[in-house]
Chain A
Amino acid sequence: MLETNPFSILAETVSPFAMQSFIIAMIVLIALGTIIQMIHHKNLTYFLNNAKKAKLQATREIGTGERVSILAKTTVVDIGTTAELGFGKRRLSHVLGMYGTIIFWISSAMLVFCYTGADKSSSTIWSMLWHVGAILTCIGGYWFWFFLRVDVSAEAHPWYRIIKADLFVLALLACSTFGLAWSYAQFNGQDGLSFLFLTLFVTSNLILFGGVYWSKFAHMFYKPGAAIQKNLAEADGSRDNLPPPADAPEQFGLGIKREEPKHY
């Protein structure tokens, strides 16, 4: 099953053009949601104003080389491994879900545009990546959903309490889970189940890309923006008005270790 392109089997009943149009429609929905959210929340205005303020408060000039090195370090560490989540389960779960989702989406587009159709060849690697991406998304997502959500771990709400903010993670999980279930049922020739899971897969995609109350996708742009601004502000001395790192010997105080927020 892992080496089979589920879209090429589907192409026997649904035209590849319809599948390609669906993917393009989803990309348009992401772009629209992000633009609307950015206009509504004024993220870009906030960042530009903050950057201007930081420039005025800077105590030293950053050279081009240093700026490039900060940008590169931020991209690799802060953005690539979501360093803001610290060292722990939340970061691991986020990294699993993030890379799983990216692999899942890119391989979906590759499979549909390049390897689905009557005269198209098959690709074992992209089919494998599609399944691996969905599995990684499920591992990271379900781990987050059942154990790591802050309203469960820090506010003691039961895991089955659903709020609006859960729409994104639930739609994403539904997408990967039903995608895998559809691929499995289709591979084993279970037509009824295959149709059911395909319908659920398409529906969850529509909810994920078009129905999220505020565009969760916008945070893919402003989170990296915030990380870059934070590191540049540390380097130029403005530090968002934060005090500089303490020039004190280690264990100046008790050296208390941060505990998980579970003391409800």
Chain B
Amino acid sequence: MSTFVYMTRCDGCGHCVDICPSDIMHIDENIRRAKNIEPNFCWECYSCVKACPNHAIDVRGYADFAPMGHSVRVRREEEKGTISWKIKFRNGTTKDFVSPITTKPWGKFIPKLADGDKPNQGEINSQRLYTEPEGLNIDGELPVVPKESFKKGVYY
């Protein structure tokens, strides 16, 4: 249920690395192609699938709307401003949808990231997200839950 990359189609351009909200699309250190480093953390948001200019990324869709053995693929045509979807069921039935692209230009709207400062290398390497903790309207440090207070056992 997560994204995967067709290595023969990927050219390592970095669009999926750039857009992934979960920061799990990375460049493979051996072959310089994109890969999903942590499939468990994939949101299945299809951002990388839509952003890929070579249609090199695929994802298995949710089982509740398309049972196993199906395919859900996307074609993004920026010049037309359209996103087309094709859902193919395992019995051969296909459904095609076309929608307008409603994406806003990077950082121009909320929270106006384009006007903000560029992060330095130290901030990029840190565990904190951009503008934390000020961006969360928190004065001082981020709240911490002491490890001793954790319940023992397995969390679900």
Binding site for B on A (CB under 8 A): 43, 46-47, 84-86, 90, 150-151, 153-156, 158, 163-165, 213-214, 222-223, 225-226, 230, 240-259, 261-264
What are 17 contact pairs spanning A and B, CB under 8 A? A84-B11, A150-B17, A153-B14, A164-B29, A214-B30, A241-B86, A243-B86, A248-B80, A252-B98, A252-B100, A253-B101, A254-B81, A255-B78, A256-B78, A259-B106, A261-B18, A263-B106
Q: Nearest 7 pairs between A and B by C-beta?
A: A154-B14, A253-B81, A253-B100, A261-B18, A243-B86, A150-B14, A253-B101
Question: Which chain B residues border A164 with CB–CB below 8 Å?
Answer: 29-30
B-chain residues with CB within 8 Å of residue A256 when the two chains form the complex? 78, 81, 101, 103-105
Considering the complex, which residues of chain B in the window 97-140 have a beta carbon less than 8 Å from any beta carbon of chain A? 97-107, 113, 119, 121, 124
Q: Which residues of B contact A (CB under 8 A)?
A: 8-9, 11-15, 17-19, 26-32, 53-55, 71, 73-75, 77-86, 88, 96-107, 113, 119, 121, 124
Task: Kindly state the separation between the CA atoms of A155 and B75 in the bound complex, as whole angstroms.
Answer: 25
Q: Are B18 and A244 in contact (CB under 8 A)?
A: no
In the complex, A155 Cα to B28 Cα: how many Å? 12
- Known A86-B53, A243-B96, A253-B82; further 13 A-B contacts with Cβ < 8 A: A84-B11, A165-B28, A243-B73, A243-B75, A243-B84, A244-B86, A246-B98, A249-B80, A250-B80, A255-B81, A256-B78, A256-B104, A258-B53
**Known A226-B9, A256-B105, A264-B124; contact A250-B79, beta-carbon cutoff 8 A:** yes
Partner of A252, one of B11, B82, B106: B82
Whether A251 and B18, one on each chain, are in contact in the complex, defined by CB atoms closer than 8 angstroms, is no
Q: Is the CB of B81 within 8 A of A250?
A: yes
Which residues on A sit within 8 Å (CB–CB) of B18? 154, 261-264
CA distance A245 to B83 in the complex (A): 9
Q: Indicate if the CB atoms of B86 and A248 lie closer than 8 Å.
A: no
The reply to whether B54 and A84 contact each other, CB–CB distance below 8 Å, is yes
Q: List, in ascending order, chain A residues with CB within 8 A of B106's CB.
A: 259, 263
The smallest beta-carbon distance between B43 and chain A, in angstroms, is 18
- State which of A85, A155, A255, A262 has its C-beta within 8 Å of the C-beta of B101: A255
Closest to A169 in B: B32
Residues of B within 8 A of A226 (CB): 8-9
A243 near B80 with CB under 8 A, answer no
Question: Pick the contact of B100 from A213, A240, A254 — CB < 8 Å?
Answer: A254
Residues in chain A near residue B103, CB distance under 8 A: 254, 256
Q: Whole-angstrom distance between the alpha carbons of A225 and B110 in the complex? A: 44
A213 touches B32 (CB 8 A): no
Query: B31's contact among A214, A247, A255, by CB below 8 Å, is which?
Result: A214
